[in-house]
Amino acid sequence: MLLQISEPGQSAKPHERKLAVGIDLGTSNSVVATVRSGSPEVLADEQGDCLQPSVVHYGAEQISVGRAAQGQLLDDPANTISSIKRLMGRGHEDIASLGHVPYQFVPASESKLPLLKTAQGQISPVQVSAQILKKLADIGLRSLAGGASTELDGVVITVPAYFDEAQRQATKDAATLAGVKVLRLLNEPTAAAVAYGLDKAAEGTIAVFDLGGGTFDISILRLSRGVFEVLSTGGDSSLGGDDFDRAIAAWVLGRAAAAGIELQPGRALELTARAAKEALAEQGSVAIDYHGWRGQLDRAQLAAILEALIARSIKACRRALRDADLAAEDIDNVVLVGGSTRTLAVREAVAELFGRQPLADIDPDRVVALGAAIQADILVGNKPDSDMLLLDVIPLSLGIETMGGLVEQLISRNTPIPVAKAQEFTTFKDGQTAMAIHVLQGERDLVSACRSLARFELRGIPPMVAGAAKIRVVFQVDADGLLSVSAEELGSAVKASIDIKPSYGLEDSDISRMLEDSFSHAEGDMQARALAEQQVEAERVLEALVPALEADAAALLSEAEQAEIVAAMEVLLRQRQQASEPRAIEAAIEQLAKVTDEFAARRMDRSIKQALQGHNLQEFEQPSGDS
């Protein structure tokens, strides 16, 4: 009789499917899906709802999530948290991007991260997201296991493609807090393309236009021989359906004021505006009746109200096409994602830009979760024969600071991930036993124009002459887009490392600005880099020459020769401090090298003579014959 055995952690029943789900953790709504009988499907809660509002209510005695919490938006707004995705991985200064909110934040002087004041104490955005994730995971577990299992085997969570290191890490922290095993963070546009089965084509170029409740993403994807690669990404994490609602609410306020009716802005008015917007997705006009003001809103008026917001999304699309070095006509398919793409004006703008009708067959609120479920099914091992490979990219270049306030890029933006890059550096001064590693993100050549991610030190480097140490710096970005940096002095094997977990993230407007600045300041940055490099070289030359002169000038140089060298050094020092052109410093370095050539030759000759003292020439000859 044979007894089946299995590896640790693996099922003894290889035919038994593992429990895996995909989660679209949205700004306004969230969705959980799985694969059953080879087909992805969205899972409903006990009330039959597939769309779970991303809302958490912190009552005095209990916490409610989803539809139950949404019902508290008007009754207890101060303790009802929505659109928390906009604060994931952000700092206090980003609170303003939320616009008018009814809840209170702990002052920046009292907390490092944004904390919300609730009936259950101070709550972080990560904790709020964890509550939403826990509910979604519970829906998945109840639907799949029916009480037979206590946990899911794995979950794929989607994030906007433009989420940076801090925002991705905050999402993973929320999953950990919720007790969810994350297989991977997957870019939302990539998941949508998978849901449409575009990965089954031999090849093609796809644009995914993802306009949700609070974030907008555009990704240009290329499929070739089973490899799904993100060519470029763009977007705006402060643009979505919530902004549409506020714009409509502002229009209502204006119309009411013109009629002599004073209305108060707030959540109730925004919910009324949202209802009107959603109705216009199905009909040509809608009546609005709010606190004594009555009016009509039609699709043409809505298009005019939203024109500036929609234009922001189209501008990001054009930039993403430029980054991918493509024209609109090079795109084979356009996919619409997110509930806000139901707005007719949005669809028309997208169709006009790309010159084709976008794909909208799958419910735009569900398509991302369905794609995530397909990926989760593969990663958990239920579909081992799948050859689909998803390659996402990093949004901004990563590098370290070098002498002169310069940035040395190790990983360029739009590099497919996961990725690891290494580069060797050395010490600048004699006897240097430590090196400060400053990790930066951005496209500019100067440290001052990039964003600082982290700092750490490599200590214990054996004292050596400048330039002798070999320090290998390795950047690793995993499949979730999270960065770790390590440094090692190769001779002594001294090591140091850090996982990049910044306390706040970049606004997409900051990322867009950094990209635009990298183009508009390219020539100036090149000049500044060349100048800084010459300044560093001048400092290196002077630091090496000064001790040499102190030790040997009196013995090897005449007074006139010494005076000539000192004069050339003073010229170089002055040029290093005052010159605005790198060529001026370079010329001063060349002149100093010219007047010190003879000094260097004499020092070398003396060193050779000292080495040969007490020896005869035969000692240095190669032996001949047998020995």
Q: Annotated catalytic sites, by residue?
A: 24, 85, 188, 210
Q: What is the dihedral of CA 455, 94, 123, 216, to 10 degrees?
A: -100
Tell me the two tokens of residue 350: 């997208």
Sheet holding 80-82, edge to edge: 63-65, 55-58, 80-82
DSSP-assigned states of every residue in 41-58:
EE---TTS-SSEE-EEEE
Answer yes or no: are the C-beta atoms of 346 and 353 closer than 8 Å: no
Which amino acid type is present at position 386? S
CA distances from 394 to 171, 179, 218, 481 (A): 17, 27, 14, 7
Task: Dig out the tokens for 470 from the structure.
Answer: 């070999």
Q: Is the backbone peptide bond immediately before 418 cis, with ω within 30 degrees of 0?
A: yes
Written as six digits, the tokens of 165 are 């290191």
Check if the beta carbon of residue 474 is closer than 8 Å to that of residue 421. yes
Q: How many residues does the chain have?
A: 627
- CB-based contacts of 339: which residues, under 8 Å, 6+ apart? 28, 29, 212, 213, 241, 364, 365
Strand partners, 458: 435
Backbone dihedral angles phi then psi of residue 383, each to the nearest 5 degrees: -135, 65
Nearest-angstrom CA–CA distance, 90 and 116: 13
Spatial distance between the Cα atoms of 235 and 238, rounded to a whole number of angstroms: 9
Check if the beta carbon of residue 187 is closer than 8 Å to that of residue 215.
no
Contact between 375 and 158 (Cβ < 8 Å): no
Burial class (CB in 10 A: 0-12, 13-18, 19+), 328: middle
C-alpha span between 249 and 273 (Å, rounded): 6
Nearest CA to 487 among 477, 500, 475?
475
DSSP 357: P
